[in-house]
Amino acid sequence: MSTLIIGGISLSEWEIPEKINFGGKQKVVVHKLIGGTRVVDAMGPDPTDVTWSGRFRGPSAVDRAQALDAMRAAGAEVPLFYLSTFVTVVITDFRADAERPYEIPYSITCTVVSDSINDALGPIVPSLDSIVSTALNVAAAFSASGADASQVSTAAAVGAVQTAVTATGTLQGAPLPALVSLHGVVNTQSAVLGGIATGLDVTLGSTVGVGTPSGVNPAAMASWLTGQMTTSQDEAIALSSKDNIDLIGKNLTLTGA
């Protein structure tokens, strides 16, 4: 995992956890009838708490740990994005076990308030404008994080959807032809983002011009590794953007567009 943002704080390097959970339960009421028949009423999703641990390192370790602890103390609802999951959470448990001022292992537990992706699926069309706005905001946040060629292309694809949404105006109750037209733009740009990600994936692990055998010039190897890290980050950005653009497409489908 290369990206985790909570409450406006973007975690990086050792702050990123080795593993993080998502998912939960579906709350149900089971009615058992004569003859063994069951009637199951689905009451809605019940997401599990999101928990992870990491390590703050460097001169800003204390400040960054205290920033998360301040969110915990305030009980504020904050956005959390990771692995194409976008939820609003309250930090219910934050523990920092400082070893040095510059070395602070931590663990965190977040209770999910709302799930902007999974809550959007299903018969939630009345909040279509809110769903699309949230998805675009997340996609734009990640596609605007760099200036190399692939990230510029990713940003352009997201921008094309943003322009189409703005031109359509209010989506809830919009004429079907307008929604169909928007859906076409969404599908086209989703394919563009998929192509960007696929192209980047092909280059990952490539040894062209450098290779990985022993004896390779250290400077050349370092340059190759840096390029691979950049490519990996660019692919994650393209895929995250595509996930959120696809979310818009799914909800437009619910309207019949």
Which of 114, 113, 96 lies closest to 105, judged by CA? Answer: 96
Which among 37-41, 84-88, 138-142 has the top mean pLDDT?
A: 37-41
Q: Report residue 124's pLDDT band, with 50, 70 and 90 as the boundaries.
A: very low
pLDDT above 50 for 126: no
Q: What is the mean pLDDT of residues 111-123?
A: 65
Half-sphere exposure of 54 (CA within 13 A, CB side): 22
Q: Report residue 189's pLDDT band, with 50, 70 and 90 as the boundaries.
A: very high
- Give the residue extent of every domain in the chain: 4-115, 125-254
Q: Report residue 205's pLDDT band, with 50, 70 and 90 as the boundaries.
A: low
Interval 140-159: pLDDT, tens: 766 555 567 888 888 889 88
pTM summary value = 0.52
pLDDT above 60 for 121: no
pLDDT at 186: 92
Q: Which amino acid is at 88?
A: T
Q: What is the mean pLDDT of residues 233-251?
A: 81
pLDDT above 70 for 215: no
pLDDT at 142: 60
Cα dihedral across residues 81, 87, 89, 91: positive or negative:
negative
Domain spanning 4-115 has what CATH number? 2.40.30
pLDDT above 90 for 184: yes
pLDDT at 146: 57
pLDDT at 138: 67
The mean pLDDT of the chain is 81
Looking up tokens 């943003």, which residue turns up? Answer: 162
DSSP-derived secondary structure for 128-168: HHHHHHHHHHHHHHHHTS--SHHHHHHHHHHHHHHHHHHHH
pLDDT at 101: 87
Q: What percent of the chain has pLDDT over 70?
A: 84
pLDDT at 125: 38
